[in-house]
Amino acid sequence: MKRTARRILLDLDGTRATATLYDEFAPKTCEAAWDILPVTGRAIHANWSGREIMLHLEGEKILRLPQEMKVRSNFVTEGDITYFYRASQMSRGKQLAYSAQFQRELSEFAIFYGSPAGEGLSAYDPARTPYKEGVHVLNKFATIDRPIPEEFRLKCETLRHEGLKPLTVSRY
Partner 1 sequence: MLVTKLKLKLGGAEAVVELAERDAPKTSKLLLSLLPVEERARHAMESGREVYIVLGESVDIPEENQTIYQTVGDVLMYYKPSLFIEPGWPEYANEKPVLSWVYERDTAIMGTYSPLATNVVGKIAGGLNKLQAEAPRMRREGFGMMKLSRL
Closer residue to partner 1, CB minimum distance, 24 or 154: 154
68/91 Cα distance (integer angstroms): 22
Work out whether 162 is an interface residue with partner 1 (CB under 8 A).
yes
Residue 104's region, left for phi above 0, alpha for psi from -120 to 50, else beta, is alpha
CB of 162 to partner 1, least distance (A): 5
x/- mask, partner 1, residues 71-90, rule CB under 8 A, reads --------------------
Residue 167's nearest CA partner among 31, 21, 45 is 45
Work out whether 46 is an interface residue with partner 1 (CB under 8 A).
yes
Q: How many CB atoms lie within 10 A of CB 3?
A: 14
Closer residue to partner 1, CB minimum distance, 65 or 159: 159
Residue 138's nearest CA partner among 60, 49, 59, 9 is 49
Work out whether 153 is an interface residue with partner 1 (CB under 8 A).
yes
Applying CB under 8 A, the residues found at the interface with partner 1 are 44-52, 92-97, 114-116, 119-121, 124, 127, 153-154, 157, 160-164
